[in-house]
Amino acid sequence: MFEFRRPLRRWIFFATALLLAVPARAADVKTLLKEADAFRLSGESVRVDTEVRVLKSGSLDKTRLYAVYVKPGRRSLVVFRSSSERGQKMLMLGDDFWLVVPTSQRPLRITPMQKLLGDASTGDVASLTWAEDYDGRVEGEAEIDGVPCLKLDIAGQRRGVSYPRIVLYLAKSDRRPVHAELYVASDKLAKQAAFKFGDVDGRKLVTLMVLTDHLWRERTTEVHYLSRSAKTLPDHYYNPAFLARADIENR
C-alpha cells in the first residue's frame, strides 16, 4: 500500500506542477508578445500610414500606399491610397474579411486565404499585433545579428491569421522584435521578417519591416511605417456596409 501511495503522490505532485506551469508559461508568452507589440503600435486605436515597396532582385518593382485604421477587438480597416488602387478598401473583423473594389462598390466577402494573395499581402500591412492572435512557448535563446534574443514558437489561435505559425526572436534586453520566420498553412516557411527602429515622438518604434520571401527568393517587401497617429473611428466605420461610403476617405 505504501509502495503504491508514494508514486501516486509523486504523480499528483508532477501533474499539479504541470497544470500550474502551463498557464504560467502561456501567460509569460502573452506578456512577451504584448511587450513586442508595443514596438509596433503606438496606441490601441491608431491610424498608421504605410508605404510598401516591393523589390525584385534588389530593384524597386512597385510602391503602394495604405492608411490602416486599427481598433481593439482585432479590427483593421485598410484604405488603399495609390493611384492605381484608389477606391479599394479592405476590412478585417476578427477572422472575417471584406474587400471593396471601385468598379463595383459592394463589400465582397473574401476568405482568409484570399487576403494573402496579391502584390504585398494586405495581411502584412493590416496585422500589427501578435498578442491578440498568437500563443505558444519560449523555445530557448539565440543570438541574431549579435543581439541576444528569446526564441518564441507561436501559433495562431484563430483561423484568420495570415501566418498560422511564427518563430519570433525578441531582444532579451527590451523585448523588441528582431527577427521573425513566418510560416503558411502548409507549414512552409514563407517569409522572414527583420525590423528596424526609429525614434517616434520620443518612443522607440518599428519604422521598417523588411520581409524577405523565402518561397520566391528574389522578392523583398519593405513595409515603411510613415506615421502613426491616435485615431478612433466610430464602430460603424467597421461595418462592411459602410465601406462603399466616401466618409472613410474623408478621415
Partner 1 sequence: MRLAGFAARVACAVSPLLPIPGVAAENAAVDLDWKTRFVGEAHSPREDSVFAAGLPLTSFGRDRARLEQEARGRVGPVSLLATGTVSGQEGARPSRKLLVNEAYIDSGSGENRISAGKKILSGDVGYGFRPIDVIQREARLQVLPPALEGVPNATLGRFSAETAYSIVIANPGHGRGSDPRDDGSLALRYYRRAGGADLHGVARFSDRFRVETGTAMSAVPHESLELHASFLVQRRGERQVPLAEPASPGDLLTPDRAVETQTLGSAKKALAGFTWTWESGWSFIGETWWDGTAPTAADWRRLASQARQRGALAGAPGVPAEAVAGSLAASTRLFQLPGLSRRAALAHLAWTDPAGGGWTAALDVLRTLEDGGYSATAAAGWEGNRWRLDAGLRRSGGSPDSAYRLLPERGLAFVGISVAF
143 vs 247, beta carbon nearer partner 1: 247
CA distance 26 to 136: 6
Give the residue, chosen from 37, 41, 87, 139, that forms a contact with partner 1 under the rule CB under 8 A: 87
141 vs 249, beta carbon nearer partner 1: 249
Other beta carbons less than 10 A from residue 215's beta carbon: 10
Phi, psi of 119 (to 5 degrees): -60, -85
Which residue stretch of 13-21, 26-34, 39-47, 238-246 sits at the interface with partner 1 (rule: CB under 8 A)? 238-246
Phi, psi of 38 (to 5 degrees): -60, -20
CA distance 48 to 200: 13
Phi, psi of 193 (to 5 degrees): -115, 140
229 binds partner 1 (CB under 8 A): no
CA distance 64 to 23: 42
Which residue stretch of 23-31, 137-145, 174-182, 213-221 sits at the interface with partner 1 (rule: CB under 8 A)? 213-221
Q: Which amino acid would we find at residue 173?
A: S
173 binds partner 1 (CB under 8 A): no
240 binds partner 1 (CB under 8 A): yes
Contact flags string 149-168 toward partner 1, x per CB under 8 A: ----------xx--------
Instruction: Give the cell for residue 71.
Output: 481598433
Give the residue, chosen from 86, 172, 196, 203, that forms a contact with partner 1 under the rule CB under 8 A: 86
CA distance 39 to 75: 19
16 binds partner 1 (CB under 8 A): no
CA distance 93 to 158: 12
246 binds partner 1 (CB under 8 A): yes
CB of 32 to partner 1, least distance (A): 26
Angle (CA) 89 93 87, round 5°: 5
For partner 1, the binding residues (CB under 8 A) are: 54, 56, 61-63, 82-84, 86-87, 93, 95-97, 102-114, 116-120, 159-160, 184-186, 213, 215-216, 219, 221, 234-236, 238-242, 245-247, 249-250
